[in-house]
Chain A
């Protein structure tokens, strides 16, 4: 129910403010799109022309020819999909253990998980690198897969959802003779689809956008990802901004599609992840 009627002036004011904020927020993305159709020399002309004089569609052809962008895109997809699948499987399993099973040392172990969320990644970046060096995994995708598949964050996120599932429900399933594993698979998993969707998108987007990991571990063109590809137009071809922007648009497009498709799930999933329990 409405508590009080807002005056039309006030409503209009809120709209104007929100619209202004939204435009400011999206402006950099619009600029990116506009610059992606320009020649490198045009990108820098001021005042900015938001709509290019002539659309240089060929930028979107050139980027695939100048660098092995198709391979980079494939590599990014490969890493994102594999890491996301491992995360979903192992995190949901562990989250069930931490929220619905009893065993000695459970809380201590969970505390260790939580504590590592607070530890900046840079703190253990060096030992991880040495470890990968000793395992001869530098410049292989396996290095990033091993390092990024087992995050504490995934376990934490799913556990927040699982503790809101009433224990009576699981008790009933156990009395009906379901094993712990089938209780998990047939009761808990179907109930927490939004949680899984949230983790899927979060994990996919994080791996897809990751720059530092691939920069440290991938040296050869065979292993590089799309984020590294964006920067290649800076070193190799003396900053061709039109091409950089076209590649950037290609790098953001899949995330935009995934985001728009799952927006509802995502927004609600994130919103409820932090605060329950």
Chain B
């Protein structure tokens, strides 16, 4: 004899639903379907033209392939190849140098500008627009100009340096030691306006009362900056820091326009190395392996920054 479950219990069994539950779940399914239709047009293009290529890069990094014949699995040999390539190690260290200095200096410049342009002064909007404009100017167009400004013997920058008593100013883009610093300076000029805007938004969110209370308590200007402004700006700083880091690793146009990676390979960064391997030497294996290295570095740095942000805000 089979035991019959009481009706109420049977209803609770998964799969059997009450009428209202069934209605709710069909509504849910309908809503989910509507949700998918919103995503779909963008997701299709995104999946085909970005996600699949990313995965394909991972695959290619362990393959030997000339683009026509069948692929051949070669394990980590592509990585061995690039790790023994002096151009790769040079690009690797130059990238780190470039990222560290351009991130820190651009961050400081944009923070300083934002604080100065947050004050109620006449012509504020004009100043902001002027500082921001380099961000939208074409790098290829402006690159030729910067090359002239940094010209070794007669350029205005070195003329100025000589004028203030530096008898032997740097060779900038003509010197393997100085070229990367020229690139860093131009990158600060180009990007500080953009991050200034993000800082300005952060500054506007700080309640005025905090400053009023601090002033009543006799806090000095620097104290107000370090005890109120800076801590309150932590979310902005975090965002600026991450975006700057990611974008610095991507820098290509800037270097291409200024130095094309030279003189020698002194300003060839990882992005340029990958480009050269792909479109100059048609070396798919090395290109993909170097891409994976770049990918892992950016990912690792981003994750560390997210962790750091958590600790930092906890501490505050």
Q: Please report A residues at the B interface, Cβ cutoff 8 Å.
A: 1, 3-4, 11, 14-15, 17-18, 21-22, 25-29, 31-32, 35, 43-44, 46-48, 89-91, 93-94, 96-98, 101-104, 106, 109, 112-113, 115-131, 133, 146-147, 149-150, 152, 155, 180-181, 184, 205, 208-209, 211-212, 216, 227, 230-231, 241, 244-245, 247-249, 251-252, 255-256, 259-260, 263, 267, 270-272, 274-275
Contacts and interface: CB of A to CB of B under 8 A. Distances in A.
B316 interface: no
Which 3 residue pairs across A and B have the least CB separation, nearest first? Answer: A97-B38, A46-B154, A101-B35
A146 B116 contact: no
Contacts of A106: 35
Given A89-B41, A117-B246, A150-B44, 18 more contacts: A25-B130, A25-B189, A44-B148, A46-B155, A46-B159, A47-B156, A116-B51, A118-B298, A119-B298, A122-B291, A127-B54, A128-B49, A155-B42, A209-B138, A248-B142, A255-B138, A270-B194, A271-B200
A11 B153 CA distance: 38
Given A147-B49, A275-B201, A248 B141 contact: yes
Given A120-B298, A267-B132, A31 B148 contact: yes
Contacts of A147: 49
Nearest to A239: B144
Contacts of A205: 136
A275 B252 contact: no
Interface residues of B, number: 98
A103 B138 CA distance: 41
B132 A122 contact: no
Contact of A275 (B44, B60, B202): B202
Interface of B: 28, 31-39, 41-46, 49-54, 56-57, 60, 67, 113, 116-117, 119, 121, 125, 127-134, 136-142, 144-146, 148-149, 151, 153-156, 159, 189, 193-194, 197-198, 200-202, 205, 208, 211-212, 215, 235-236, 239, 243, 246, 249-250, 252-253, 256-257, 270-271, 274-275, 278-279, 284, 287-288, 291-292, 294-295, 298-299, 302
17 contacts: A18-B116, A25-B189, A28-B134, A29-B142, A32-B141, A47-B154, A93-B38, A103-B31, A109-B39, A124-B54, A131-B49, A131-B53, A211-B253, A251-B141, A259-B136, A271-B201, A275-B198
DSSP class of B's interface residues: helix, strand, loop or mixed?
helix
Contacts, number: 270
A94 B189 CA distance: 34
B124 to A, nearest CB: 9
A192 to B, nearest CB: 15
A94 B38 contact: yes
A89 B42 CA distance: 9
Contact of A130 (B43, B67, B299): B67
B168 to A, nearest CB: 18
A275 B142 contact: no
A31 B145 contact: yes
Nearest to B41: A90
B61 to A, nearest CB: 10
B295 A103 contact: no
Given A90-B41, A113-B46, A248-B138, A120 B148 contact: no
Nearest to B275: A122
A28 B49 contact: no
A52 to B, nearest CB: 15
Contacts of B299: 115, 118-119
B56 A124 contact: yes
A267 B32 contact: no
A91 B42 contact: yes
A112 B55 CA distance: 12
